[in-house]
Every structure is written in C-alpha cells, then in structure tokens.
Amino acid sequence: MSSSEQILDAVRLCLRLARFLPLLIVPILANWTYNQKPVQRHLATSFDQAASLLIAGTSIWSSGDLRPLKAAWMLQMPARKDILILGSSRALQISENWFQPQTTFNAAVPHGGLDDMIAFFELSVEAGKTPRAVLLELNPTLRSEQEQGDHRLLTPYFNRALERFGVFNRFRHLMDLSSLRQFRLNLQRLQPPAWGRTPKPFAQMAQILPDGTAIYEGSQSSANASDMDVASQVRHTDREKVRWRTSSHPSPGDLNLLRCFLDDLRSRRVEVVILLPPIHPIAYEFYSKLGGYDDTWIRREMASRSIPVVGSYSPAIAKAAATDFFDDVHPHPALVHRLLHDAGVANP
C-alpha cells in the first residue's frame, strides 16, 4: 500500500470516528449547562412553592427525592437555624421540638451520605445561614448503598466546597460531565416534582413537616418490626446492600473528605455532635459477624477532636429492644430522642 493510500485510509477513519463526536460532546455540554447557577435556580422554581408552604408552617406530601426540595427550602429560609441535622433516613424523624427553644432544621435525606452533608452545609454558608451547631448521623463507610438521589441543586455546592477544601478532583468532574448515565438522570430531573397538600393526595407519599422531618408509611411508633420480618429482610437483602452493610471503613478519599469537613466546621466555630443510631438486634447480629457496623474508627477519630459521639450501632450498648425498631435498620424516634436526651443534647 502506498503512502498516499495510507493517508487516505487514515482520513477516512478519522471521518468515521467524527460521526461519534456528538455522542461525547452533547452529554458534556448538556451536563455542564445543567450545573450552571441560572439553570439551577430555574429548576429550583418547581420546588419553591412547596418550600414556601413548609416555611409558612404547612405540611405537604411528596413522593420525590427530598434533596432538591430541602435545598430550595434552605435557600428561602428567612433566617439561619441554631441546629442543622445532617444524615440519612435514620435521622429523618429528629424533631425541632426536642431542642426548643433552639431552632432546628432537619436536612437529613433518604440514603444520605457525606456528599449530601457537605453540600447542605456549604449551601447554608453561601446563603449566610451558617448554623451554630450540626448533628451528623454517620454510617461506617460514610456512604449509602444507593446513590441515585436527585442532586440537581446540591452538586454545585458540593463542588465549591471541595474547591475550598483543596481536594476538588477535576478528572472526576470531567468524567461526571461526560457520563451518559448522568445525562439521562438530568433529563429525568427536568420533570416537576410530585407533591401535594394534606390530606394525602396519592399513595406511597411521605408527609413532610415544617421542621424538615419526614414520616413514611410504616414508620409510626405503632408499627413494630417482628423478629420474623427482620430476619426475612436480612435474608433477602440484595448483594450490593449486604456488601455495603458489612463494611466498616470508608475509602481513604472519603476519610480525608470527612476530616476536611470537620476542620471547616471547627474553623467556623460550629459545634459538632455525632449520632450513631442502633440497628435491630437480629440485623446487628448478622451484619456485625461479617464485619459491619463497627464504630471503632469513628470513635477514635472523634475522640482526637473532642467531638461527642451519641449512641451506638450496637442495640445492646444503646439499650435498645426489638420493639424500638420499625424495620431492620430504622429505630423509632422515641429511641433516638432518648439517646440524645441521655447525652444532654436534647430536651426531655
């Protein structure tokens, strides 16, 4: 083959490959546009009415992810709250009534992890509403087994926090921008949220209260998980969830991120309390034998910073009975209230 033919073949190959450029460029451009402040504020308008009702003291019902709702909610708040609660669904029922006369906002979200905590706190800082104290509900890996949440309003705050910490990963950011999965999620999130006023308009909706707490079906104190139900839940837990729940150590990157976050809180003179809600005795026996729910590193890390730790994953240490839970990992609010009260954090 002559050199000219080789050049022609190379040109043809480049032209063929060029056909696929839109598949790469379109997601990057769309994902980048989606994260810009004007677009984010436009997207937030779909949550503003719901947030306004909640700030005015009206409960609503919602079937959507709570992240964008609570982000819009915090942006509209007329003043900062004394205490900001950050965590997962295991902290969703911590009520403002437990801390009066201090004001409280519960920014916990289902499957919440360290990324959400950092983003919500950064939002409060940028909005001029830095709290006096934060209550952090942690799990051993600092992550949730599911990371499918709607981060449409939180991602920019998280990225700006990383930039402040000096740990922003531009390569990871570029990979996220080029992600087809993220592109599909962003398209789905353009749809308005599903919510309504009381009474409950649709099935499978959670009641969102004006202090940020949320009540899901089956989470009331009258709903107790039987040992048989919990044993069945544990046996039928999917592989990914078992892998997550039987790990008790975060990645080095997440541990470093937590330390940066705690340093940031200390620099702002924000008081910190760590909460470790227990899990059902049967679930704890199963997962702990496989290496899960070991809080050793958390206690060691917090002791080095003189940060109090309330509770324990162990139901025995927390003095929790099977009747204190409505499923395998969610305690009733009365148990969490008792742990916080006994530690001098919450009122009777």
On whether residue 325 sits in a domain, the answer given is yes
Q: Which of 109-123, 180-194, 286-300 has the lowest mean pLDDT?
A: 180-194
pTM (2 d.p.): 0.84
On whether residue 91 sits in a domain, the answer given is yes
pLDDT digits (tens, 9 = 90+) for 213-242: 998 876 655 567 777 788 888 887 777 788
On whether residue 150 sits in a domain, the answer given is yes
Q: Which residue has the higher pLDDT, 70 or 195?
A: 70
Tell me: pLDDT of 20 over 60.
no
Boundaries of domain holding 175: 19-342
Helix, strand, coil percentages, rounded to 5, for the chain: 50, 10, 40
Q: How many domains does the chain fold into?
A: 1
CA dist., res. 325 & res. 93, Å (int): 13
On whether residue 10 sits in a domain, the answer given is no
Gyration radius from the chain CA atoms:
23
Q: Is the separation of the CB atoms in 71 and 109 below 8 Å?
A: no
On whether residue 336 sits in a domain, the answer given is yes
On whether residue 6 sits in a domain, the answer given is no
pLDDT digits (tens, 9 = 90+) for 174-186: 556 666 666 666 6
CA dist., res. 187 & res. 244, Å (int): 29
On whether residue 13 sits in a domain, the answer given is no
On whether residue 304 sits in a domain, the answer given is yes
